[in-house]
Structure 1
Amino acid sequence: MITSLKIKDFSESDYFSYEAFCNLWEEENISLIIDFGEDSDKSNMLLKYVDKINEILKWIDEHKKDISNFLVSKQCITLAEEWVATNKQIDDNSYQNAIGEIINIPIKEEDFYKAMYLDSILIDFEEDESKPDTTMHILFEPDYFKHHSLIVYIDGDKNIEYGDLAG
Structure 2
Amino acid sequence: MSKYLILCVDDEREVLDSVIQDLDCFEEHFLLEAAESVQEAKEIIADSEQNEIKLALILCDHIMPDQTGISFLIELNQQESTKPTRKLLLTGQAGLEDTVEAVNHSSLDFYIAKPWIGDDLRDVVKEQLTDYMIENEPDLMPWSSFLNTEKIFNAVAKKRMNFGE
TM exceeding 0.5: no
More helix by share: 2
Whose Rg is larger? 1
Q: Normalising by the residue count of structure 1, what TM-score does the alignment of the two structures yield?
A: 0.22
